[in-house]
A = this chain, B = another copy of it.
Amino acid sequence: MGATTAATASGWLDQIRFDDRGLVTVVAQDAGSGRVLMVAWADREAVAETVATKRAVYWSRSRKRIWRKGEESGHFQAVSEVRLDCDGDVVLYRVRPEGGVACHTGRESCFYRRLEDGQWVVTDKMLDSPEGPSPR
């Protein structure tokens, strides 16, 4: 991007459009299977730490603090790629989830319900015990 110069080390962060809460929507996708795992939020610090550590970091709205994914569950997410959408207000993390679990319910993906004939049908088994309240 032409406007980014080498001199502004965090110029790429300035190109993200954080909302009035200072947050950006993040989609986490499994880099292997391509499955969409979860949608959460991140503040500037969380995105910066994600890129620096190559581990997914979010902002927990329920806990009102930085949320290093896996800090309690052990289900870290190794981040192989970060993408930004056209409007600059959604970030995509491509990840490899440790333990194969992304959802706080103990399932691979948060999108474990599929609409079938007017009913949400659970398609995923629990691979681990639930974590308790959603940390999002």
Contacts and interface: CB of A to CB of B under 8 A. Distances in A.
A120 B84 CA distance: 8
A63 to B, nearest CB: 14
A107 B83 CA distance: 14
B9 A118 contact: yes
A66 interface: no
Interface in A78-100: 81-87, 90, 92
Nearest to A16: B120
A122 B92 contact: no
Contacts of A81: 114-115
A77 interface: no
Interface string A95-136: 000000001110100111111001111100000000000101
